[in-house]
Amino acid sequence: MVRRKGELSSADVSREWPHQVAILAKVSVGPGYKITHDFCDGLSLCPRGHSFKRDTEWWNVFCFAEREHAEKFKERFGGEWFDPGMIWER
């Protein structure tokens, strides 16, 4: 994988924003994009997230530096905790 200079690596994200919440992609695309990102204004959200596919559905992962912020996001959007190590196990 090629990475641009200054771009955050997956390891950087996992180290600096360890509290990660996965939500169904359909919740955070289209009109949901603005809703989820407006909610995160002022929270410790990482500028880079990622996504994965489980069975037939895509999920977006939002990464936070502070657990309290991740918990608020999880409650608001019905997410689930995401372990960054699990993506490599599949």
| Averaged pLDDT in 10-residue chunks for the chain of 90 residues | 68 90 95 96 94 94 97 97 68
Q: According to CATH, what is the number of the domain 12-88?
A: 3.30.70
Domain ranges of the chain: 12-88
Neighbours of 5 (CB within 10 A): 4
Residue 86: the pLDDT is 67
Residue 10: the pLDDT is 83
What's the angle, vertex CA 38, arms to CA 35 and CA 41, rounded to 5? 155
Residue 28: the pLDDT is 94
**Spatial separation of the C-alpha atoms in residues 57 and 16, rounded to whole Å:** 27
Residue 85: the pLDDT is 73
Edge-to-edge strand ranges of the sheet holding 50-54: 50-54, 57-64, 19-24, 80-82
Tokens, residue 45:
């959200």
The whole model's pTM is what?
0.86
Residue 5: the pLDDT is 65
Residue 4: the pLDDT is 62
